[in-house]
Amino acid sequence: MARKKNPGSKLSRREFLALVGTGTSVMAGAGFLTAKFSRRPVEQLIPYVVPPEDYIPGVAAYYNTVCNLCPAGCGITVRIREGRAKKIEGNPAHPVSQGGTCALGQSGLQVLYNPDRLQTPVTRRGERGTGDFHTVGWNSALTTVASHLDKLRLANRGAGVGLLTGDIRGHLDDLLIQFLGLMGSGRYLQYAFTNPTNLYSANAASFDTAQLPYYDIANSDFLLSFGADFLGMWVSPVSYSRAYGDFRQGRREGEDKGPRRQRGQLVQIEPRMSLTGANADIWVPAVPGTEGALALGIAHIIAGGAGRFAAALAEFDPPRVAEISGVEASTIERLARSFGDAKAPLAIGGGGAAAGTNGVPNLVAINLLNHLAGNIGREGGVVFNPKPAFGRTGMQRHGSYLDLLAFVEEIADVDDGVLIIAGTNPLYDFPGDERLVRALQRIPLVVGLSSFMDETMQYADIVLPVNSYLEGWGDDAPEPGVGMRVASISQPVVAPLYDTMDVGDVFIRLAQRMDRDMQRAMPWPDFHAYLRNAWRRMYDKRRDKLDYVDFDAFWTAVLEAGVWGETRRASQRNEFHAQVDYEPPVHAGNDVDYPWYFQPFVSQGFFDGRGANLPWQQELPDPMTSIVYGSWIELNPRTANELGVDEGDILEVSSPAGSLRAPVWITQGIRPDTVAMPIGQGHTSFGRYATGRGANPLSILSAQVDSRTGAFAWGATRVNLTPTGERIRFVKTGGWSRTLDRQILGPRSGETQEGGDHG
């Protein structure tokens, strides 16, 4: 077809061709460049300089170690790929965890890889408590501390040096005692908010054994739990959860072919429904602190007016107990009958029942139930542990709230006092009074050993960064254990991420920088060597009984298995030594100005607050409410009605000691005269995920203590509630809280699902 010249065109032929040519080459260039830049960037293939010996790239390696996020001491297995920790599982060979973990234990990886970890030693620049620190080298930090300690020691004033730690067990504890001994000081205290101080004391009083027994829940068929949230975070949650599963099935996991016992029944007595309360067959909301009376009331019926305790129990007839505890007399009789008729009844006490001013008498009364049932040392009962393979028990190590106050104040009163704080954060989980802070301010030198800049570390002069538990060495004899001697070694599963050290190494390095006597007394090159030595002594003692070629074989075998134990059990006679009586609880605040009992509770995600800096835990819905990222206060609908508030309305919660603000959560699982708040949020300094989030209920508690032990009575404060008129929308998972008659939880008992066939 002949091309017609376009009459409107002003282009000459030459211009037209130039235009086409330019256009074409521009487009071709564009195509060329698009191809170039749309290609995947060049990747490099970086080999090792020296190949790793202990793993193959692309193949997972597994190391056994010990979890230390709570004092239970679960054995864990960590999956490692290319030298990085990927996943934590329970160690199936470990008798405490038996292959399971809790939610917090899973998050240990975020302790290791937490972006807010302390990476180098720091020293204080500004005022104490302001968080103004600057970086120093290990060498200068250690030399500063060592020369200070050395000076004191040589001047025979080492007695003013104190050491405050959290839960440090095993041979590290021995090393610390030795270090302080060399300093000429006996000031060594452990303090943990959750330590069951009252339970130790009650067991000492009742059974003459100051230890935590192993409650054989799995083999029990009727479990009466007074406030012990053993499915939540009480004492040893993984071990007890496993036992609970078997308790419900009436047989041990793996015995699937064996005969079933009766399905175990669980009764939970507590004013606010905990996770354990939610799983109980019957939840009995008793008045906070009156659990002891209830236990005595049940004992009264079981004993039937006979026996050694008849006189002491005489006045605890059902009507009187009903009046004290707010539980109907018929319920008390029913519980007593069931407890008395059960083949293997078991009573445990903890949580709120142990956290009043009358914690010990309450627990003694609960112990009496076990004594009357003949439970001591029996299968399905209360099994006491033999003396641990090494180390001191929690009773020996831990101090109560009053002990801690006295401890810190004494050091403050000494000239040249030094306080070393490792692995505990008392400024978070202490009541709101300023005594501890004031005492800390007066101590000339406070040295902190920590992985995070928490509330307490803000008051330190020098903070030394320590390894996370996945990077360092240690060992552990778990408490309460499982009725047998169990010990495990904690080994590093990854190389330390930063320039950090084990706590033990810090003290060995300090000794090495001090005078010759100190160096000679602590001659180990590092804590690993110390630990091996200690285990060698254990091995030598048992050499004949152990079936290993030499110590090295034994050590390797324990490292590989993650656990070592002896099957010998302790013998414990069913003798009861204590006097039983009911002591009414004392609450701070009168019931006119402060009409509600205030019950803080240990939360599933954060334990005593230490889990709050882990993003997985922050984003883990609370089991009871599904709330994430915040605090709340639980109210009975009747209370909410009375106050005229609805879900999300912010209340001013005031106690004799202080006040805080928290949004309302309305729940059927709480007494109308009680309000409850979760512990864990409300940190003022704990990294980016925790700081400034929610409120800390412990901060408004009065400094109430147990009348016998001086333990912090965190369930003995009353509060007043005032609506503020403000409100928030809860951040939580969606969905209905009622099934609306859909068969989501299965057909009602007795019915089968329509259609019948399943699976």
Residues in region 203-262 near another protein by CB under 8 A: 231-232, 237-238, 241-242, 244-245, 248-249, 253, 256
Asked if 615 touches another protein (CB under 8 A), the answer is yes
Positions 78 through 97 that interact with another protein (CB under 8 A): 81-82, 84-90, 97
Residue 742 lies near another protein (rule: CB under 8 A): yes
Instruction: For residues 165 and 176, give the distance between their C-alpha atoms in angstroms, rounded to a whole number.
Output: 10
Beta strand pairing call for 188-190 and 214-215: unpaired
Q: In the complex, what is the shortest distance from the CB of residue 527 to another protein, in angstroms, rounded to a whole number? A: 25
Report in angstroms how near the CB of residue 540 gets to another protein at its nearest: 37
The reply to whether 567 sits near another protein by the rule CB under 8 A is: no
11 binds another protein (CB under 8 A): no
Q: Which stretch binds another protein (CB under 8 A): 317-325, 387-395, 676-684, 751-759?
A: 751-759
294: nearest Cα among 307, 305, 284, 283: 284
Beta strands in 67-172 (DSSP E): 75-81, 84-90, 122-124, 133-135, 161-165
Torsion-angle region of residue 648: left (phi > 0), alpha (psi -120 to 50) or beta? left
The reply on whether position 45 binds another protein by CB under 8 A is yes
With CB under 8 A as the contact rule, the residue among 2, 59, 311, 592 that binds another protein is 59
Residue type, 441: Q
Binding residue (CB under 8 A) for another protein from 2, 10, 14, 49: 49
Q: By CB under 8 A, is residue 295 in contact with another protein?
A: no
In this complex, which beta carbon is closest to another protein, that of residue 722 or of residue 752?
A: 752
- 489: nearest Cα among 61, 64, 21: 64
> What does the alpha-carbon distance between residue 318 and residue 336 come to, in Å, rounded to a whole number?
10
Q: Should residue 725 be labelled a site residue for another protein when binding is judged by CB under 8 A? A: no
- Told to check if 154 binds another protein by CB under 8 A, we report no
- Residues 342 and 374: beta-carbon distance below 8 Å: no
CA 534 to chain centre: 28
Question: Is there a contact between 206 and 578 (Cβ–Cβ < 8 Å)?
Answer: yes
Q: List the interface residues with another protein, window 505-544 (CB under 8 A).
A: none
Q: How far apart are CA 377 and CA 384, in angstroms?
A: 6
Q: DSSP secondary-structure letter at 450?
A: E
Any contact of residue 58 with another protein (CB under 8 A)? yes
Asked whether position 57 contacts another protein by CB under 8 A, the answer is yes
Least distance to another protein from the beta carbon of 331, Å?
10
Residues 334-363 that bind another protein (CB under 8 A): 334-335, 338
The answer to the question of residue 53 lying near another protein (CB under 8 A) is: no
Binding mask 652-691 for another protein (x = CB under 8 A): ---------------xxxxxx---------------x---
Given a contact cutoff of 8 angstroms between Cβ atoms, the answer to whether 66 and 491 are in contact is no
Strands 649-655 and 717-727: antiparallel
Could you say whether residue 752 binds another protein (CB under 8 A)? yes
Q: Which of residues 636-655 bind another protein (CB under 8 A)?
A: 636-638
Is 62 a binder of another protein (CB under 8 A)? no
Q: Does 330 bind another protein (CB under 8 A)?
A: no
- The answer to whether residue 105 forms part of the interface with another protein (CB under 8 A) is yes
Of the candidates 46, 311, 549, 592, which one interacts with another protein according to CB under 8 A? 46
Tokens 């299968």 label which residue? 379
| Minimum distance, C-beta of residue 325 to another protein, in the bound complex (Å) | 13
Shortest Cβ distance from residue 256 to another protein (Å)?
8
Choose one: 162-170, 265-273, 450-458, 523-531; the region binding another protein (CB under 8 A): 265-273
Q: Please give the C-alpha separations between residue 581 and each of 106, 562, 603, in angstroms, as whole numbers.
A: 43, 45, 31
C-alpha closest to that of 462 among 431, 423, 424, 418: 418
Nearer to another protein, 517 or 619 (CB): 619
Q: Distance between CA 662 and CA 671 in Å, rounded?
A: 18
Task: Give the Cα separation of 165 and 191 in Å (integer).
Answer: 6
297 binds another protein (CB under 8 A): no
- Answer for which of 263, 308, 343, 520 binds another protein (CB under 8 A) is 263
Q: Rule CB under 8 A: is residue 734 a binding residue for another protein? A: yes
Alpha carbon separation from 333 to 29, 327, 719 (Å, rounded) = 92, 10, 33
